[in-house]
Amino acid sequence: MTRRIRAYVPFVVVTAIALGAALLTANPTGLQADLTDLGSKIPSVRKSAIDKLSKGSGTVRALLLDELDSDRSALTKASIAVVVKTLGVTNSNASVLKTCLESRDAATRHAAIGILATTKRGDLARISLGRILSDTGEAAALRCGAAIALGSGGPSARDALLDAVRDEKAPSSVTSAAMRALAACSDKGAKDIKGIVDDAKADQGRREEAVRALAADGSKGPDLLKVTAASPTAWLRQSAIEALASTGQNSYAATIAPALADPVASVRLAALRGVIDTKGEKTYRAGIAALFADADARVRGLAARSVGRSSGDIAANVQAVLLALLGDASFHVRYEAALALLAHGNKGGLATMQADAVSLNQSQAAQARHAAARIQGLK
């Protein structure tokens, strides 16, 4: 990677140095001590310095930003980033951050990227961040950070992020970060990612990554996955269901619930987990109860666990079914049924767990002993 070595000092840095010099003249001992303490290996000393400088003026902020491009330690630079984040990043000091982004020191570039990402002001250094993102000689971690910072800056980042997403030679981590940033930067960016989801010619891994990007924190595109959750392709609808479930939003339970009756077991399992994760168990417990007779033991077991957790108000109506599951051919189902009964105050699973505790399968035997002990402890 080739980086330009500046033979001049940008005006804004000169200004920062001048302001800093004035401040040091006004209170040289106190400020210099605080700057030194930012690099202390003692957390309490470091925190005290951060707190003091975080109450500073724009002059202090300019000085701290200039310090990012100095020979300070990585610990000091990380502390400075915390202070600058607290003070806020504005148009007036963006040029100093750009200078930091062009530094030959990776720690300085990393600190500046972190400031722009956490303050969501990537728009202030869009070109510099785009250069880092596209630089094949740059560390993948910094390229990922640049993508995140760019995405925080809004629609203006779309073109640079699209280029990164389309770069087939980029590390997978960079592609993933660029996808998530693109989905977050604007509605158009989210639709760009949805285009990858719908591209039948793209490989499965790329399309699944695009699905996850649409449901990631800050994405503008979770709603775009509602149609995908009903895709005729099993792995794709499963991926969409899992992504929607990862948001934890109850509003998506209605989209996920129909898949409780999906013809593919892995999709039914994903749907059941999704209804649980989106807090839809009570609303869709009729569909969950129907899974007690599912052909897949994983589904039957999770259905029993769900009912044990969410159906206390209708315990009398479900206990007979749970008792029947104690005779299931799968230990996993028997175990979950016994614990579900326990959740309803019923010790009916004790004998089954005691019998399973002498199983030749050591792992299952240990689980059964644990369950039996819990049941016996019920008052």
Residue 6 DSSP code: P
What is the predicted pLDDT for the residue at 23?
34
E strands in the chain: none
The pTM is what?
0.78
**Residue 364 CB contacts under 8 Å (≥ 6 apart), including other chains:** 331, 335, 356
118-140 residue pLDDT tens: 888 899 899 999 999 999 999 99
End-to-end CA gap in the chain? 69
Torsional class of 120: left (φ above 0), alpha (ψ -120 to 50), beta (otherwise): left
Q: Provide the b/e sequence for 338-377 (b: ≥16 CB within 10 Å).
A: bbbbbbbebebbbebbeebbeeeeeebeebbbebbeebee
**CA dihedral (64, 69, 71, 76) positive or negative:** positive
Dist. CA 259–CA 242, nearest whole Å: 11
Dist. CA 35–CA 76, nearest whole Å: 8
Inter-CA distances, 26 with 100, 220, 262, 302, Å: 26, 48, 72, 67
Dist. CA 112–CA 103, nearest whole Å: 10
Dist. CA 23–CA 61, nearest whole Å: 11
What is the predicted pLDDT for the residue at 42?
87
Give percent of the chain above pLDDT 90: 60
Residue 360 DSSP code: S
Dist. CA 320–CA 36, nearest whole Å: 70
E strands in 95-174: none
What is the C-alpha R_g of the chain? 28
Dist. CA 212–CA 2, nearest whole Å: 34
Dist. CA 190–CA 32, nearest whole Å: 47
1-30 residue pLDDT tens: 433 323 323 322 333 333 333 333 344 456
Q: What tokens does 288 get?
A: 């969950």
The one-letter amino acid at 8: Y
**Residue 291 CB contacts under 8 Å (≥ 6 apart), including other chains:** 260, 268, 272, 299, 300, 302, 303
Dist. CA 113–CA 122, nearest whole Å: 8
User: Do residues 303 and 289 lie in contact, with contact meaning Cβ atoms separated by under 8 Å?
Assistant: yes
**CA dihedral (360, 364, 366, 370) positive or negative:** negative
Residue 150's Cα: distance from chain center in Å?
17
User: Do residues 80 and 30 lie in contact, with contact meaning Cβ atoms separated by under 8 Å?
Assistant: no
Place of tokens 């019923």: 346
Dist. CA 329–CA 100, nearest whole Å: 64
Residue of 124, 125, 179 whose CA lies nearest to 148: 179
What is the predicted pLDDT for the residue at 165?
97
What is the predicted pLDDT for the residue at 15?
30
Dist. CA 169–CA 18, nearest whole Å: 45
What is the predicted pLDDT for the residue at 239?
98
78-105 residue pLDDT tens: 777 777 777 777 776 677 778 888 888 8
What is the predicted pLDDT for the residue at 344?
87
The whole-number mean pLDDT for each consecutive block of 10 residues of the chain, a chain of 379 residues, reads 34 31 43 75 83 71 68 72 72 76 84 87 92 96 96 93 95 97 96 97 96 95 97 98 97 97 98 96 90 96 89 69 94 96 92 92 94 85
Give percent of the chain above pLDDT 70: 85
Dist. CA 128–CA 112, nearest whole Å: 11
